[in-house]
Structures are given as C-alpha cells and as structure tokens.
A and B are shown apart, each in its own frame.
Chain A
C-alpha cells in the first residue's frame, strides 16, 4: 500500500497520459469509424470496397502489430515524430475505428429499410437520408456496444507502454522494477487508476442510453 502512496505523482502522471491517449484516440476513432460505416452503406462501390477492406484488415490484425507499424515502420518510411504519443494515437485510433465502424453498421442495419425508402421518395439525397434519418437512429441504438469498444480502447492503450510511451502501464513496469518486494501493490495501484476511467464510462453509458434510447 505504501508503494502506491509514495509514488502517487508517477501514478497521476501515467493516469493523465493514459486518459489523454484514450480521449484523443476515442474522438478520432468515433469520427473516422462513423465515416467508415457511412462509406460501407453508400451507393458508391469504391467507397464500400475501401471501407470493407480497411475494417477486415485492421480488426483482424493484432493491436501490437498496429503499434509496431506506427512506432517503427512509419518512421522507416519517412514519417518521423519526436513524440511517441503520436504513434500511439495513430495505432489506437486506426484500430478502434474498425470496431466502431462495425458497431455503427449494425445500428444502420437496425433502422427499418422503409424509412430510407420513404426519405428517398420525398426527394432527399443519399447524404441527407444518412445524416438526418438513419445515423441519428443508428447511433442511439449502438450506445452500449460503442461504450464497450471505448472501454476496450482505454485498456488497449496499455500497449503504448511497450512502445516508448510512459503511461500507466509503463509506470507500472518501472515501479515494479524498482520495488521488487511490492509488485502486487504496484499492480493494484495500476488497476485502480484504470478503473477510475472505465467504471465511470460504463456509468455514463447507462445514463446516455436512458436519455436517448428510442423504442421501436
């Protein structure tokens, strides 16, 4: 227990970096994932093909490989950055958006096809049908799976600790090395700070769901 209290500044620093990685990657993934889902149901074949290929490749690739690509391969190709947080955000948001896209697509599928047909029949363009009729309903239905994906994202961000970013997990390893006699408590501390992000997320999900849920 003492080890957690003595190293509180390290924990807080790691916590803030984990939070930063999760929030930024989460926002990017939500936007990009929704765009991918829109592309998947669009009338343009090339967009559908791109979206499907992206989702299938990225969600079936281990996250570690995505990190390796962002942190090691990209710099080899000339895309260098001095902050490894950038690599972590690229890897996390690219990976997570594939899952977001699938969740949104399932929401889109849940909207009765008659609504889209009705919207078309009153002269709406595809973009209007999607943004005014389908997506608002689709997104509401997929709040629970979406939150699951975001919780997974928070936990997945620990992989950044192995790729040169000193976040919660990175600090955990550092503290474990320095306090060989209290590894258990070090890890309890790390788990506590993860829960500090993920448990409220679940709570927010319930709240939002209650607010925006639609009954069909």
Chain B
C-alpha cells in the first residue's frame, strides 16, 4: 500500500505502475498457466477459497490435476490455447458452483480468471433485445448527444447501476458528462466537467488497450499473487487485460469521495482515439457478470462507431458549409481591386470561413481588421512574433498565451488565433481571432466534503480542480479540423491572388519600361527629325531674303515672321528635349563650389545682356552637393529670369545669396523687376506655363519647370515669392552633403 500521508498523491498517481499492481480484486480468482503443459505457475492467494479446493502454485500442479468441472474446462482451455481466438469466456460449474471463466494469453502465460456467476437469466433473452433495440433506434438519432443518452439508458438497463454517464474528453483530456441515466440514488453529474488529472495518462493508455474495467467495491483489500513474480520471466505479472486487476488506491479513494461504492467503465474508441467513457456508478457494492460486461462492451463499440459516423458526417457537412462560404468570398475577392479591401468588405464571410469572431490581414506593414480583434499595434506585434515561428501552412492555438506570454494582454479577444502566412518574402498573414471562453466549472460531488474527509491529506480533488481552473483561463473554443482545413484552403486561394497581383505588377513594370523606351525613341526622333525642318524653314527664309533684297517691306516682314516662328518652334523642341532628358539621365554628383558657379553664370549672362547696368549683390554662397552641370543650369535659369524680368528697371538690382539650414543649403535670387501675382504662384513651375505675353518677354516657359525638376531630383525644394511690380524672390534648397543613395539617384 502507498503511504497515505504523501501530499503529492495525485502526482504520484500519474507515476503509478497500474499494469502490474501485484494483486487482484477479491471477488474472483486468477490462475496463470504455462502454455506448453498448462501447469499452474502462479495463482491469486484466494484461489483455494474461491474455487473450493487447494491450489498450491508453488508445487506447480498440472491444471489436469485440479477438479475443474470434470475435465470439460481443461479440454476447452487446451483447445482455445491451441487455437486463434484472443479471449475465452464460458460459464462453468466448479464444485457445484457456477463460474464465469475467462482467459487470455500473455507472454507470462495464460491468464485464467474465475468469477462466481451473477444470476441474470438467459443472455440471449436479456441482452439480445437491448442490443437490437439500440441498433434500430440509433439509426434515427440525430446527433452524438441523443446517441449518448440512448446508450446510457441501455447500459443502465443491462447492468442495473444507479448512474450511467457518458463522459467525453476534450483535446486536453479534460472531461465533460455529456449524457446521464440514473435512478436518483446518486447525484446527477450531467454537464459537469472534470480535469484531465482525474484520469492520468497511463490509465488512459490502459483504457485504450483494455476497453472495460469493473470495481465491484471500493472497500476491498487486494489479493496478492503467489508467487509474487512470474516464474516464466521473473517479472511482476502484467495484468493489463485482466478483469480482476486490482486498481490504484488513489482511484478507490476517489470513488469513496464521490460516494460511489462500485464502478464500471467502458472505453469509447472513436477513429482509434479514446473519445470518452461509459462510466457506471453504484451507491453500494455491485458486481456485473462477464457476459453482461461483454454485452456492454459490444454496446460501447456500437455507439463508438455511430459516433464516429455522426462526427465524420458533421465534419463533412461543416467542411462543405465552410467551403461554400469560402467559394463566395474568393469569387468576391477575384473581382475586388485589392484582396485586402475585399476581405474587409465581406467581413462576415471572412470570419465565417473558420467560425472566428475577429480577423486581420497584414500586408507590408498595413493592418486591416474585421470583427473583434486586438488593436492594430497588437496585431502587428503578434505578426512580428509569428514571423519568428517560421510557419509553413498554419498556426492555430486556443491558448495563445501558452505559446507567447505577451498574448495575455489580448487574451480577452484573442485567446484563440489561427494564422496563415500569405507571402514567403514579407511578414504577411491572415489571422483569425477567438475570444476567451471562461468555462463554468462545477465539481462532481462536494469538494468541500472531500476535503473534510481528507484529514490525512490523501486526496486533493479540490486542488486539482483549482489547477484546472487555472488551465482553462485565457482559452478560446478549440479550432475544429474542418476550420483548419478551411483556413489552409483559403490560404492557397489568397496566395494565388498575391502571386497574380505580383505578376500583374511585373507586367505593368515591363509595360512601363517599354513605354519609357518608346518615349526615349520618340524624344530621339523629335531631337533629330523635328529640329531639322524648323532649321530648314529658317534657313530657306533667310536665303530667300538674301537672294531677293528688293522684296516689298511687307513680304520682308512675312519672311521674318516665318523665320521667327521656325526659330521659336526649334527652341521649344530643344527645351522639351532637355526637360525630358532630365528625367532619364543619371545624376553625377559631387561637391559644388556655388561661388564659382555663380561667377560663370554672371559671366555668360553679361555676354548676352550687353549695354545694361546691373547692380549685382552676390553674398556668401556655401557649397552644396549635386550634379554640377544641372545645378548650374538651375541657378542659371533663375538668374537669367531675374535679368530678363528686370529689363527696363533702373537701377536693376539682383541679389544672390545662400545660407545653411540643417542638412540643406538654401539659395535665394532676388530681383526688383516686374514680379508676379502670387495668385499664379502655383503655376509658375509648370511646364510651358508663362505669366507674360511672348512679345514682352521671350522664352518658352520651360526654364522654371526645368529648375524645379533639377531641384526635385536632388531632393530639394523650390519656392517663389513676389508681388506685381515689386520684384520676385526665388529660393531653392540642395543637400549640403552626399547622402547614401538619394532618391532619383539612379
């Protein structure tokens, strides 16, 4: 026996070697026979008492020497032993008493169990109608719950227990009483939940192997085996499949705490997994015969198959439903300009495809959400964590905080998450959320009473209950298989969209490149083929004027008009070309000495504007960083404008200066010329936008646009201030230092 005072009894319980308890329950006897000669090698110490004659296993008598029903049993067992059947079961009279004799093979010998028969009449009359009725009735039962109720009632009818429950495990092996049939002698446990620790792992393993267990009374003293160890291999006898196997004292304590004297349980195996139990309890000691137990086992198997079929059917139905929702959603997304926005538009379906309460889609740093979700920042943080998880297909949990401690902060809305990655390159995910579901937990029986009785600290059902309560916090309803499949399907659809969009983008950029090339070819032909005719027109007009000096003044005027028109058209083409080249050509940047540039600009302007007196005020011009020829052009255009629009002003004053502002140098060109109306300020830098009549001021109107483009390409900005008749101030900024790879610097 275990030490009763150990406080960690429950933990110890999980370690207990329940397959080799070293003894049997006292209501029957066990003999272990050597397979080759059927000699008795081990026996339960009560064998002589139960069977009514001495069994001295230590002297290894042959079973033939025992008075076992006049040789019939011996022959039967010898025949069974030589055959293929796994189990043997037969009612047999021994020493004028009826026994149910069962046997099974083990590596340690044939285990033959003898249980005094319970009087239940003719099995074919008792069991057959029950099984047949159940089979007929179950067809019409719509779901697992009704099925469970029906089977509980049938098992109670067969066994006469006070209470029969159908107990279902969840994915963490916590259990719920799904259905119950009882006579009121024991309290109802319907809908109560029990923590996984109530049935430790090794017990569940055994439940899988041996589907039926019976404890006729919890107040028994186990009967030891003689000898203690198997003579065949020297090891303790494995009683995994023995009906008489003695159970853990902790379990007996548990039964006593629940007020249950006798119990029987039948494993429900669905799709090879332990799905649940048919659990029978009785207030007093109660024994059920092997035949009845076999019938119950049969019923258990029948219902397990029915449940399997029902659940598969429900799963398929659900899968079809989700698929239909998804099909509609995908069709919508295919028409939407962007799948992200399409998802938000169809939020209901988006949530429905996995039965979630919230969802988010993250692509390239943007977060779009629908339904009940954590904040966008939290979602982004979650995605960052997900990225580190290297998810291939999907990540699903009903308890996020178990995987990611920070998940606790969003447990109320996102205890459950289902995430699918939708890009290999970016941290792009679709994530669905489920809120925390705090389960109402009620302990079967009175835990307070259990604790009172627990003066010796034997059992702590209350404690296990507390730990379970902790375990079910921060959890959502679990994700079903159909939902996970639906998410996986949807991921494929979305990945296809993403790929398709990427292809379209690639195609678009190809088209852009092609059209850029075409533009280049176009500007080339403008350069070459359009300039030539203008030149020819101007040339011929000039030649004509020279050849015919005697032309009438009006004719001469006309010829001049032709020349001028051709010239300005030619100038326009040149300016246009220059402007378009600026968009294409690369910047060749270096440090620029603006003082020197200004000197050059002044020099070239002085050469054209002869005969004018201009008061130049050139202040400090700090150096900057850029493409020297372009920057020169930009400054030239502004200074040239200043010179142009001060024509007729006396005196003409033009001030050029610069100052450093952070990482920029700002240059200003101020004149006292005709100025401009600020109402047109915005148009000033547009291509071919002129504010003056061509006969007043020459030019194609491209100079300022060119300057703006140059400054833009350097990452600077241009500004203009002015008033009509009061001059104008143009300023532009350029970087002071070389940057990494500046924008447009390609």
The yes or no verdict on A and B being binding partners is no
